[in-house]
Every structure is written in C-alpha cells, then in structure tokens.
C-alpha cells in the first residue's frame, strides 16, 4: 500500500463494531494529521501518507522543539484522545520495543478527564437496565467517585440494602474507540509497508494485540467473568478479598460490584495508623501475584496501587479486573525456568529459557548475547538473593531484547513488567523488600510441592515410558535408513564395510541405551510406588516393590558390564 494514499472506505475488520460513516472517518484522519503537525511531528504524518490532509499553512509551519521528542510524543497522544492514550499506556510497559526515555514519558500519560453530567450517566443506566433502573439502583450518588476517559464510577444501593459501586461506560466511547482502532489498523499496515519501525517490531501484530486488550476493557461482562474467576481461584484464601459481582445487573456498559472499604495500599501513613505490618503486606501481595501466575495461570496485569485496598481485617482487596493476563501450562513451565535462571544468576539457563520461548537471536549473535547476559548477571553475582532487585534485571533483559532485535511474546513481556511493577509496590511498602527473594523462595517451594504430587509422578512415568518406546523404535528406523543407503536411494560417502560397522555400533549403543532406560524406569517406578503408594500390608505389593528394586539393580549391573565391554571392543574404526 502506498504511503501517499489513504483508503477512507476500508472496511471494519472487527465483528460487532459499528461502522462509522466515510465522512466521519475522513474527518478523524484529518484530526490525526493536524495534531501530528501541530506538535512538530509532521514527518510521521508524511510517512503515513496523511500530509495531504493538512492545510498548506500548517504543513509548512515548523514548530520549535522546546522540549525533548519523547515529550512531544506524549503531548500528541494526549491530544489524540482515549484510544491513543490507552495505547501509550500499554507501550509504556513494553521497554523491550520502546526506548526507556519514551517509556518513562508515556508512563506520565493522564487518563483523568472531567466527569460526564449525572443525567447523561443515568440515561446510559436506563438504556441498559430498562425503565426499572431507579428501583434497581436506589440512592444513586450523582457525584462520581472517579472519572476516566472510558468510564466513571458512582455509589448506589440495591433494594436489598447492599452498598455497591456502579462502573458506567460513557456514551459514545465504544463507537469512537472502534473508529480509532480501524484507523490504527490501517495506519499500521501503511507503517509496516514503509518500514517505519525496526524489523523486530511487528506494527500490525502490535495494533491487533492492543485492540484486543482495549475491547476487553470495554466489555464489562468479560470483566465480571474475570472477577468471578479470580474469586474462585482464591476461594477459602483469607489473604485476598474479591468484591462480589452482581451479574444480574451487569451488562457490556455497566458493572455493578460490592463496595469494599479500606486503605489504599500506597497510603503509608494510614497503614501505620492502622497498625498494618507493611513488610508482611509486601510479601503477601507478592505471593498472591505469584500464586495467580504459576498456579492458576490467570492474573491481574495492572498491579497499580489504586487498584488495591487493605480491608479492616487486613486482607488485600482487588478492585479492577479490566486488564488480565493468562498463561497456559507450557508457558508457565517455561516461565518458571526463566525466572529461576534469573534468580540463580545463570546466564546459560537464561539464554536456554529464551530459546524455549522461540525468541533467541540468530546464530551469529548467539555468542554475543550470551556474553552480554553474563555481564548483566555479573553485576549482581555474589550478592545475597535478598539484595538483588528484579526491576533492573527485567529492564536489562528488555534492553538486550531490543538491541538484538528479539521479538518477545506479548504475554511474556506483559508478565515480566507486571512482576517489576509488583516489586515497585512492595518496595514502597517496605524499602528492604526485593522481589527476587520472594519469588525465589516461593518458586522453589512450588517446585518441591509439585514434585511430590501424584500427577507429577504419573507425568514422570509417562515420560519415561515414551522414552523407552522411542528407544525401542530407533534401531529399526536406523536399519531402514541404512537399507536406503545400501540400495543407493540415499547417497552417502562411507564404504559399505564402514556402514555395516557403523550399524553394528549403533545397534549396540541403542541396545545399551534401551537397557539403561528400562533400568531407570523400573527403579523410578519402584521408588515412586514406595514413596507415593498407599500404605498396604499386601504381600504382593511389598514383594513387587522389592522385586522391582532388585530387577533394576540387576539391569544396572548388566548395563555397566555392557559399557565396560564396549570400551575394549568398540573404540576402533577401519
């Protein structure tokens, strides 16, 4: 797509989105172009093919840069409104693709806007809940508790007398956001075609991911489900309090939740007056997040201090469930290895963990990255675990990813930044708090706990069985390969006698491996039955375990004999 052409009639790619008229789309493109020029960023508008939408007088006017370029970027985004502010806030957490000075500036983006008049909010509620809205939400407080660009929050009371807070989406927000997302999608394709960013930044994927996140925040039914899921995950755990969601009164544009009272987690003076142990609170909040990530695979991805209260009973109360992170079992396992490698300051394991995520650099840069990672970890080597700060380590990892053009998965980048943000909250509560110590202790406890579960034992046995089956199939596959060579269907340089000798050596080696794996499998099975099996007075069970251990010993001796004999017979080549 040429940069000099803008297709104002490009169709919406998003199902369920309301289409904006071509005239309104053209007007919004013009607003974006003029805003870029007004803030001295006309070069961006020109690169995106928007220069022709700007009056000649504005396009030729040069704006003196009295402030650094990152500040111009932030001011431009603030003028562009809700959608772009949300995008900037997300980018502020992605220091793997955004330079630190820009990330810091984007972190200052303000999402506080004047409140919408109460009659307008009441009209939205009536449109969602019907004519009985006044009976459903009694004693509705017209003065909002908070107001942002997307929604504002009011107090109310249900007919049952339960105090609630009502999150109401401002009118027209969803339509404006959808129109902007359509424009952003189009501009991302233009920017990608013009190579406006580094190769490791996929503009189209980035905008698609951001669009999904923002649409999720606009859907309060989804947020209600997220709150219910967190509540189920922590059912019976007094450390975390999740407000009850009144799903019968919740729609896509209205969220009705139980009102909780408490102290903001960053109100240190109030915490001191209440006698809250801030050190214990920092540790507790960290363990809640780690449990959400590594045990449940579902966590709050925006641990902002304003999203948490400390209830009178001392529990941590979560208030916002708009931005959530989710990890599958494989990702959690890989992440566990990655975080433990950082905690243990093992550069080799860190690189290996990066490779499991599919984000290792090219072979040419592999050695260089390993050296750089070693330099990063050398700065903390020798320090006690309780003195190593996670946030600088994560920042350095992101910096290396950016320098070596590695594309970090969005969920991994979001998670690492969430852990770093959580450390920031913890250090505000307790200056001596270090997330690596809390994470290291928790993850090692989790690893030991998981290793003792029957599920892990069965998984271990299943893996052993798969390895034995693979080893038994391997000799036949090698024989088929050698047959192809002998028939001339696969070219290979060695002499046929060498091939025969190689086949004999391979068969011998594979047989020894098979015996060794069988030995290990029988030994492991017997040991696991002895450890995890239910106590029993059954003679066959006791004798079966003893027989298994005895058989594994015999197989082990036989394996050693084979290895000893191979040392004198298989070491020469002709």
Active site residues: 302
Query: What is the number of other CB atoms lying within 10 angstroms of the CB of residue 112?
Result: 9
Say whether 354 sits in a helix, a strand or coil: helix
What torsion do the CA atoms of 289, 290, 291, 292 make, to the nearest 10 degrees? 50
Longest CA–CA span in the chain (Å) reads 97
Contact 228, 250 (CB under 8 A): no
Name the token pair of 263: 């102290």
Query: Which residues on adjacent β-strands are paired with residue 16?
Result: none
Dist. CA 441–CA 331, nearest whole Å: 20
Dist. CA 264–CA 299, nearest whole Å: 20
Structural element, H or E, at residue 375: helix 363-378
Say whether 169 sits in a helix, a strand or coil: strand
Q: What are phi and psi of 12, to 5 degrees?
A: -70, 135
For tokens 């490791």, the residue is 200
> Cβ neighbours of residue 143 under 8 Å, at least 6 residues apart?
154
Name the token pair of 352: 């290996």
534: left (phi over 0), alpha (psi -120 to 50) or beta: beta
Pairing type for strands 240-241 and 163-169 reads unpaired
Name the token pair of 539: 């003679």
For tokens 């959400």, the residue is 292
Instruction: For residue 299, give the nearest of 218, 226, 211, 232 by alpha carbon.
Output: 226
Contact 559, 471 (CB under 8 A): no
Sign (positive or negative) of CA dihedral 37, 39, 40, 41: negative
172: left (phi over 0), alpha (psi -120 to 50) or beta: left
**Strands, sheet with 308-310, edge to edge from the N-terminal-most edge strand:** 240-241, 316-318, 308-310, 263-264
Name the token pair of 47: 């690169």
Name the token pair of 8: 């104002």
Structural element, H or E, at residue 486: helix 454-487
Dist. CA 561–CA 188, nearest whole Å: 65
> Cβ neighbours of residue 437 under 8 Å, at least 6 residues apart?
385, 386, 388
Contact 130, 111 (CB under 8 A): no
Query: Which residues on adjacent β-strands are paired with residue 146?
Result: 153
Query: Which residues on adjacent β-strands are paired with residue 166?
Result: 154, 256
Dist. CA 97–CA 366, nearest whole Å: 19
């Amino acid at each position: 797509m040429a940069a000099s052409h803008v297709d104002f009639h490009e169709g919406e790619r998003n199902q369920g989105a309301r289409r904006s008229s071509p005239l309104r789309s053209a007007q919004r493109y013009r607003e974006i172009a003029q805003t870029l020029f007004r803030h001295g960023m006309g070069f961006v508008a020109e690169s995106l093919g928007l220069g022709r939408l700007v009056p000649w007088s504005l396009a030729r006017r040069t704006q003196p840069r009295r402030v650094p370029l990152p500040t111009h970027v932030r001011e431009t985004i603030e003028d562009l409104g809700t959608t772009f502010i949300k995008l900037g806030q997300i980018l502020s957490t992605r220091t793997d693709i955004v330079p630190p000075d820009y990330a810091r500036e984007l972190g200052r983006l303000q999402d506080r806007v004047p409140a919408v008049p109460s009659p307008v909010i009441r009209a939205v509620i009536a449109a969602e809940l019907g004519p009985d809205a006044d009976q459903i939400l009694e004693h509705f407080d017209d003065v909002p508790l908070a107001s942002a660009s997307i929604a504002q929050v009011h107090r109310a009371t249900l007919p049952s007398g339960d105090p609630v807070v009502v999150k109401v989406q401002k009118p027209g927000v969803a339509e404006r956001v959808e129109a902007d997302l359509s424009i952003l999608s189009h501009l991302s394709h233009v920017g990608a075609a013009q190579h406006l960013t580094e190769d490791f930044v996929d503009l189209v994927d980035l905008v698609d991911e951001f669009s999904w996140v923002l649409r999720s925040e606009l859907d309060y039914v989804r947020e209600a489900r997220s709150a219910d899921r967190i509540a189920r995950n922590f059912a019976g755990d007094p450390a975390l309090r999740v407000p009850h969601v009144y799903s019968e009164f919740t729609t896509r544009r209205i969220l009705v939740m139980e009102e909780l009272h408490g102290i903001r987690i960053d109100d240190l003076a109030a915490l001191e007056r209440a006698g809250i142990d801030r050190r214990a609170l920092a540790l507790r909040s960290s363990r809640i997040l780690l449990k959400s990530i590594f045990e449940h695979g579902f966590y709050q991805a925006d641990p902002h201090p304003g999203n948490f209260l400390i209830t009178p009973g001392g529990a941590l109360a979560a208030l916002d469930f708009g931005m959530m992170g989710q990890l599958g079992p494989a990702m959690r396992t890989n992440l566990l290895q990655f975080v433990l490698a950082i905690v243990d300051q093992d550069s080799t394991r860190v690189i290996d963990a990066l490779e499991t995520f599919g984000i290792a650099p090219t072979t040419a840069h592999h050695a260089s990255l390993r050296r750089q990672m070693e330099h990063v970890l050398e700065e903390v080597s020798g320090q006690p675990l309780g003195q190593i700060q996670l946030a600088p380590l994560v920042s350095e990892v992101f910096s290396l990813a950016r320098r070596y053009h590695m594309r970090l998965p969005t969920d991994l980048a979001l998670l690492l930044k969430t852990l770093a943000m959580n450390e920031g909250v913890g250090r505000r509560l307790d200056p001596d708090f270090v997330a690596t110590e809390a994470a290291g202790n928790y993850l090692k406890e989790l690893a030991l706990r998981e290793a003792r579960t029957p599920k892990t034992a069965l998984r271990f046995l299943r893996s052993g069985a798969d390895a034995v089956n693979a080893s038994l199939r391997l000799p036949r596959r090698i024989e088929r390969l050698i047959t192809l060579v002998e028939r001339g269907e696969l070219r290979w340089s060695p002499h046929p006698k060498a091939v025969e000798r190689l086949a004999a050596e391979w068969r011998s080696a594979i047989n020894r491996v098979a015996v060794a794996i069988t030995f290990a499998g029988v030994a492991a099975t017997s040991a696991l039955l002895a450890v995890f099996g239910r106590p029993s007075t059954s003679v066959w069970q006791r004798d079966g375990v003893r027989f298994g251990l005895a058989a594994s010993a015999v197989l082990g001796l036989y394996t050693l004999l084979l290895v000893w004999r191979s040392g004198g017979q298989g070491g020469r080549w002709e």
